[in-house]
Structures are given as C-alpha cells and as structure tokens.
Amino acid sequence: MRSRQTLAIVLNTFREAVRDRVLYNLIAFALILIASALLFGQISIGIQKTILLNVGLSAISIFGLLIAIFLGIGLVYKEMDKRSLYALLSKPIRRRQFIIGKFLGLNFTLLVNTALMSVGLWAALYYLMRRFEPQDLSVWVAIYFILLELSLVTALCLFFSCFATPVLSAVFTFMAYVIGNFAADIRAFGELTENNLLKGLTTVLYYLLPNFSDFNVSAWVSHGKPVAAEVVLLNTLYALCYDAILVAAAVWIFSRKDLK
C-alpha cells in the first residue's frame, strides 16, 4: 500500500514535469546544441568525434542541470506556497512518502530527459561515424555519471526547498554545484596554506559538499578511454549515500514543519 502511494506521487511529479513547456524548450535546445556539434566537428580536422562527444555530453549535463534546478527548487516550496499540499497531506500518507516520491519523481523525469538527449547524441555519432565502436560504450558510463550528478543536484534542491524560497534554493544549489566541481582544488589550496583556520575550512568544505568533479568523465571518454569498473562502483555508492543523507535531512525538516 505504502509503495503504491509513493509511486502515485512519483508519477504525478513526472506528469507535472512533462506538462511544463519549459522542459521541452530545454530539451530542444540541448538537441540543437548536439546537432551543432556536427558542424564544429567539420571545421576541426581529425577530432570530429572528440568534439561531438565533448559538446554532446556537456550539453546533456548542462541542460540536465538546468532542468534539475528549475524543477527541483519548486518541488516542495511550490506545493506549500500554493497550498496544494493541504489536500494531499490529509490523505492517509506520511510526509516522508511525499518527500521521497518527489525526489524519485524528479529523478525519473531527468532519466527520461537524459535518455531523449542521449538518443540525439547517439544519432549524431552514427551520422558522423556511420558505425559504432566497442570503446563508444564508455559514453554510456559518462551519461550514467551525469545521471548520478543530477540526482545529487535534485537532492540538494529538495533539501533547500524544504526551508528556502525557490530563488534562494536555486542560488544555494548552484553555489554548491560550482564549489563541488572545484572541491579537489579547494582542498589542494587548503593544504598549501599555513593558516590553520583556512585549512580547516577548506577541509570541511571538501567533505561537506558533494564532489561533482568525480562524475565528470566527458573529456576522458571523448578520447576513447575506458572508465574503470571500480570508479563506476565508488561513484555509484558515493552518490547513493549522499542522496540518502540529503533526502533524510529533507524528511526530517519537512516532518516537523508547520504548514501555515
């Protein structure tokens, strides 16, 4: 019964997203960008495929990020603000089901969007090369890592949207994303300094914020290099643990919240 209820929230979150026109605009932009990578490839000699994969994977990542933030920041706040939650939470469900359903619903939306954009990338790749090579399979790993990254962004948005306005949630999430992409650099900077306070601060930031740079293998796979299975496993565990912590924190906050 509980899983059926949560599934209903998941599917309704997905339905809400697919009925939003902004989503289609973003997907269309991503596909246009992937198609334009074919043109960039034609003016570069011998590295057409590398250019296509680099631009294509970056487009999937950037537009996925935009969709995740755009939809994620309103996940909880919009329902509280418009009071659509009142009727929903007076049904026999627990608040945690609502949060988990919203999280899974947005992830499902991102999965479908990423799949659509990936089909565009593979079509462009086939148009360019007229065949697929065994090392192209690692492109799927890069796409999988983009999905893991987007699930982290969704969890961050969900967490922030439990207590902040959509604008603040977007700012917080974007800042966490940017800092998280430079997490390793920040830690290295901290190790160079003599200041203990700065060293401590950079270490805390390194461990506190998700390390998004670990998921970025686009440049690596666009040069036809494989990704080790160990990296796939560790990144998967890292993302799952981080998601679980953020969703649990969101549940904790939301379960104690007065819906005024």
Partner 1 sequence: MAAIEISGLSKDYSLGFWRKRPFRALDRLSLKVERGEVFGFLGPNGAGKTTTLKLLTGLIFPTEGTATILGHPVGEPETFLRVGYLPENPYFYDYLTPQELLDYFAQFFPLSAEERQRRRDAVLDQVGLAEFRHRPLRKFSKGMLQRVGIAQAILHEPEIVLLDEPMSGLDPVGRHEVRELILQLKAAGKTVFFSTHILSDAEALCDRVAILNRGKLVGVGQLSESLQRQAACEAVLECASPEALSRLQPLAAKPPLVSGGQCRIEIPEKNIPQFLALCQSDGLRLISLNPVRLSLEDYFVEVLRGSDSERPASPSP
Residues of this chain that interact with partner 1 (CB under 8 A) are: 1, 4-5, 8, 12, 15-16, 19-20, 82-94, 256, 258-260
State the minimum distance, in angstroms, from the CB of residue 182 to partner 1. 34
State the minimum distance, in angstroms, from the CB of residue 68 to partner 1. 19
State the minimum distance, in angstroms, from the CB of residue 1 to partner 1. 6
Q: How many CB atoms lie within 10 A of CB 18?
A: 11
Nearer to partner 1, 7 or 186 (CB): 7
Nearer to partner 1, 20 or 136 (CB): 20
Nearer to partner 1, 5 or 48 (CB): 5
Is-contact 184 211, C-beta < 8 A? yes
Nearer to partner 1, 81 or 133 (CB): 81
State the minimum distance, in angstroms, from the CB of residue 215 to partner 1. 32
State the minimum distance, in angstroms, from the CB of residue 11 to partner 1. 8
Nearer to partner 1, 24 or 86 (CB): 86
